[in-house]
């Protein structure tokens, strides 16, 4: 593993176990948002014996230390992805292939702060994700091929 790759691996936190390392490896390799069940299935395909409950618990503990990004879907399902940066950021997410790009919040940050102040709230956090269809998927549509 190169030094460059090391910087993109989520930190393991206090409890560095074989199962935790396997979950982190899968997150890094998938490089898209994935459900706990998808991660669990991938672990099985790689012959790692990690129970689904352990996957959920590991993902939650990684989320608690901000080592993974969490995307809360309207369905109530949470999707997870390794963080490319430790700085606060948002995501552009392709709804067809899952390709994700980390983006800065820019005006969203200012808007959240202004609205909080205007309504006498103390801002403790916010989420803002942008969904759409990436260029590769759009190109696949126009050529009639599946992506």
Residue 86 annotated in ligand binding: no
Q: By the 8 A CB rule, do 105 and 38 touch?
A: no
Backbone angles phi, psi at 35, to 5 degrees: -80, 165
Q: Tell me if 89 is assigned to a ligand binding site.
A: no
Q: Which two tokens stand for residue 82?
A: 């390794």
Q: How large is the C-alpha radius of gyration of the chain?
A: 17
For residue 60, the SS3 value is: helix
* 83 annotated to a ligand binding site: no
Tokens of 21: 């390392």
Which residues contact residue 129 at a Cβ distance below 8 angstroms, ignoring those fewer than 6 apart?
Answer: 71, 90, 91, 93
Nearest to 147 by CA among 96, 99, 101: 96
Q: Please check if 137 is assigned to a binding site.
A: yes
Return binding residues for Zn(2+).
Answer: 94, 97, 134, 137
Q: Residues comprising the binding site?
A: 88, 94, 97, 109, 126, 134, 137
Binding residues for Fe cation: 88, 109, 126
């Amino acid at each position: 593993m190169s030094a460059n790759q090391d910087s993109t691996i989520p930190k393991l936190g206090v409890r560095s176990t074989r199962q935790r390392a396997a979950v982190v490896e899968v997150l890094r390799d998938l490089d898209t948002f994935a459900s706990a069940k998808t991660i669990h299935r991938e672990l099985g395909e790689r012959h790692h014996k990690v129970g689904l409950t352990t996957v959920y618990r590991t993902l939650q503990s990684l989320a608690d230390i901000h080592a993974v990004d969490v995307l809360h879907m309207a369905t109530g399902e949470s999707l997870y992805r390794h963080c490319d940066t430790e700085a606060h950021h948002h995501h552009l997410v392709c709804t067809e292939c899952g390709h994700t790009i980390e983006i800065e919040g820019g005006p969203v940050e200012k808007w959240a702060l202004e609205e909080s102040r205007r309504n006498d709230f103390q801002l403790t956090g916010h989420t803002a994700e942008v969904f759409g269809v990436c260029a590769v998927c759009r190109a696949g549509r126009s050529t009639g091929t599946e992506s």
